[in-house]
Amino acid sequence: MTPPAAKLTARRKSRPSFAPLSAHEAELAVFFVRMAGILGVPRSVAEIYSLLYASPDAVDFDQIQGRLGMSKGSVSQGLKFLRDHGMVLSVKAPGSRRERWQPTPSLAASLVTLLRSQVLPALEQSSPSLDRILAGAQGTQASPEVIERLTRLRRWNARALELFPLMLPPPRDA
């Protein structure tokens, strides 16, 4: 009789090893991580995107996980974020059930989508908060300098809300 551990080992396929990132792939990852940080996008998302962006062919889940050394959960959440924001496409090779991923054809369109989904909502959500902060400062008779700073901040947020949509091309469905 075969011991249970031997059965498990026999059933488990050995994990393939994946090549580490090349120098230019690692440097591209640093670039995307830096840019993503500005937008509040998680590092793992930026690393996944950079790998897909630098790959000539679509990349499957195991390759992403293996080349980046990420957990399954991080890869899964990262791909979901990228897919939900229209930054990656899922493709299937003929005769294969394995899903592969590639960046959408336009980096500019992906960036616009990301800006619309990350920056614009942050500006919109800030308006009521800034109103409450200013009212609270006025109610506690904060110094005129603080009141002026808060007024400028609220005005800046309002102007950003007006100008930001004008700086971006209209949404595709508009």
> What pTM did the predictor assign?
0.73
Q: Is residue 163 part of a domain?
A: yes
Domain final residue pick, 104, 126, 143: 104
Distance between CA 162 and CA 152 in Å, rounded?
A: 15
132 and 163 part of one domain: yes
How many structural domains is the chain composed of? 2
What's the mean per-residue pLDDT of the chain? 87
154 within a domain of the structure (yes/no) = yes
SS3 15: coil
Residue 150 phi, psi (nearest 5): -65, -35
pLDDT of residue 119: 84
The reply to whether 63 and 127 lie within a common domain is no
Q: Are 37 and 82 part of one and the same domain? A: yes
Q: For residue range 112-139, what is the model confidence (pLDDT) as tens digits?
A: 888 888 888 888 999 999 999 999 999 9
Amino acid at 168: L
Judge whether 136 and 130 are in contact, CB under 8 Å: no
132 occurs within a structural domain: yes
Higher pLDDT, 17 or 173: 17
Residue ranges making up the domain that contains 58:
19-104
Judgement on whether residues 98 and 119 belong to the same structural domain of the protein: no
Same domain, yes or no: 41 and 97: yes
| Domain presence at residue 174 | no
Beta strand pairing call for 59-60 and 88-92 = unpaired
Residue 1 covered by a domain: no
- Spell out the residues 6+ positions from residue 147 whose beta carbon is closer than 8 angstroms to its own: 134, 137, 138
46 and 98 inside one domain: yes
24 and 77 inside one domain: yes
Between 165 and 142, the more confident residue is: 142
pLDDT over 70 for what percent of the chain?
89
Secondary structure letter of residue 3 according to DSSP: -
Q: Does 51 have pLDDT greater than 80? A: yes
The tokens 């959500």 sit on which residue? 125
Examine residue 9 and state whether it is found in any structural domain, yes or no: no
Picking from 104, 133, 148, the residue at the C-terminal end of a domain is: 104
What band does 7 get if pLDDT is binned at 50, 70 and 90? very low
